[in-house]
Structure 1
């Protein structure tokens, strides 16, 4: 018999966080990168987590014979309601053994909670927002994701479809290999210099003493530049603070590039090393002996991900984004980077997909956000 319970105390929250380990969902899955337990504790803390300033969430655990076998959150987002509609609610942080009954029980609990709040559609996974971990992998689930992305058990998409979910939207991940850059390096350098000579925009790299000042600039530019993109919601102060606290440990100053016109910052691009293979060493915990191995492994990282970028709308069409890409390539070549991850790109972003076509092949990974009517529960 399957029993679903609301997470009611700290002991149950510990069970919620530790479920992927305790239920052995990823025991033999080399693509899984265990999340940092301390980060999840902060996200789920109603006093500290950024989401609880803009939304409401409930946590559920599924038990079979007293043993936790699955988990899910149900949540509503006030920013989403103000910007898009008041009929859509969300599920996230889904984990389950490969059992249709467990999955259906979890989805039913989340759906019922959302129905009580007037929702008619359940969308997900979004854990918690569009700029956190979203979508189940429908392609490339055998490959380890890049930093900032999450790997789900390959059977989750099947559980979702069995439980009545249909596709909402796909997000693609691409890898651009160094060989494409090496082949065209002299030409790319010539193009970069030509573009730099034709603009009065200045390009500067990050000084670590200015990182929080830059965080405020990034927040303003990102929220403005991404307006109109699928599912976009503005980053809050608390959300941006969380992002930059995590980036501080990863960022390489030369890979954080800012465009300035006079005294005004008009664009940025930030790339970070792919530390996911190294994070596997930590297995969720920052024990000192694991941290030493993690730091040693980081020195051998050969992949980066351009994790966040934006140019103010009034400065588009001035090749600022092209210069960002070319300067990032220059840094990557100098630091002996082999691959650059470009993700996640919505299937509706045709301009970006066309721009990547000459540099890479098909996506190496695709995430799908699903949805179903609440009354399908």
Structure 2
């Protein structure tokens, strides 16, 4: 990326590529700009990276990010580099091939032996190529795209590494936990050793540290896991604070030990609909009214987990079910009717089983692709 104009072209390309797609939702432009700026994204600051544009004449027709994640290499020691932010102006296999070829060459020059993605910029951020569910809009921090990307990548020698699912919990005008979930919750309520509490806003940073410690333990055996770094946790806590009220975070305790949690966030994409990603000069008024006054009807659970020692235990399952149900009930009281649980690895049967308790259908599939170099 050679200039400020190139950076603007990189950021603007998805708006040009998908603006006419009925299901696309424009992200906030200032947030996108911060994501690709290592001065404002502490995770990116630790990664050797490059942002690449494909040009046809004087028009930018495609983009890609290529990078090496030291935290991933420290965890997995697999000489794998990553790509992300893969977008083309229109269906264009020639451009995709050129972008992937450039990313592959960049990684080979730096000693990598495999490429995988898309990650924007890690497994803890937006990731996965949408391969199923193009007819419904994405929710916050989830990606959208066109059906042509997957076959183009596969013809370029890429194959599936992992699928990740999104589930939609539709609550209707009244909320009652479904049958099996209801019985688990009844067991939870009878057990004096179990309880749930919500976020203690006075102790906000410690609360975020606590749930991410649970998350790191819960997910540590999962495919592709990379723990949150200290700088990332601090950054995440700061970024999420304006969105989180006490009833957005619920923690389940077993014998007073924090055992599990569920974090739900309002759908920023819904609040920003129709603003084309811009809050200035007057879009911020509409955005804040939708977010803080009217409220969104859609939310997302981006983080949830239970400590491994409680997996497959009666008290663990009861507490996780009750924590999820309390999360849903609190959001229903706010006017939320649809909550996406995402993303969930296809191999994460424990969490899939919990989600299934709430009659939530799988409605989108995201795929990570890989290729030897």
Q: TM-score, normalised by structure 2?
A: 0.89
Contact 1:200 1:261 in 2 (8 A): yes
- Separation in structure 1 between the aligned mates of residue 59 and residue 229 of structure 2, nearest angstrom: 37
- 2:269 corresponding residue in structure 1: 276
Change (3 A) 1:198 1:118: same
- Separation in structure 2 between the aligned mates of residue 60 and residue 14 of structure 1, nearest angstrom: 12
Change (3 A) 1:312 1:63: same
SS at the partner of 1:91? strand
- Separation in structure 1 between the aligned mates of residue 48 and residue 74 of structure 2, nearest angstrom: 14
Per-residue deviation, 1:183? 6.0
- 2:32 corresponding residue in structure 1: 40
Q: Which moved more, 1:200-209 or 1:67-76?
A: 200-209
- 2:288 corresponding residue in structure 1: 295
Aligned pairs, number: 366
Change (3 A) 1:86 1:361: closer
Per-residue deviation, 1:68? 1.0
Work out whether 1:216 is the aligned partner of 2:209.
Answer: yes
Contact 1:61 1:71 in 2 (8 A): yes
- 2:222 corresponding residue in structure 1: 229
- 1:367 corresponding residue in structure 2: 366
Work out whether 1:11 is the aligned partner of 2:5.
Answer: yes
SS at the partner of 1:284? coil
- 2:71 corresponding residue in structure 1: 79
Q: Which moved more, 1:81-90 or 1:256-265?
A: 256-265
- 2:138 corresponding residue in structure 1: 145
Work out whether 1:176 is the aligned partner of 2:175.
Answer: no
Contact 1:43 1:50 in 2 (8 A): no
Contact 2:249 2:264 in 1 (8 A): yes
Per-residue deviation, 1:181? 7.4
- 1:243 corresponding residue in structure 2: 236
Contact 1:267 1:309 in 2 (8 A): yes
Q: Deviations over 1:283-332 (max 9, x none)?
A: 22222521222233332522222221233333443232122112223323
Q: Which moved more, 1:325-334 or 1:256-265?
A: 256-265
Change (3 A) 1:344 1:36: same
Contact 1:138 1:366 in 2 (8 A): yes
Q: Which moved more, 1:29-38 or 1:87-96?
A: 29-38
Q: TM-score, normalised by structure 1?
A: 0.88
- 2:323 corresponding residue in structure 1: 324
Work out whether 1:67 is the aligned partner of 2:62.
Answer: no
Per-residue deviation, 1:35? 2.3
- 1:313 corresponding residue in structure 2: 308
Contact 2:178 2:359 in 1 (8 A): no
Q: Which moved more, 1:75-84 or 1:45-54?
A: 45-54
- 1:49 corresponding residue in structure 2: 41
Q: CA RMSD in A?
A: 2.5
Question: Mind listing any 5+ residue stretches in structure 1 that lack a counterpart?
Answer: 1-6
Question: Mind listing any 5+ residue stretches in structure 2 that lack a counterpart?
Answer: none
Change (3 A) 1:46 1:315: same
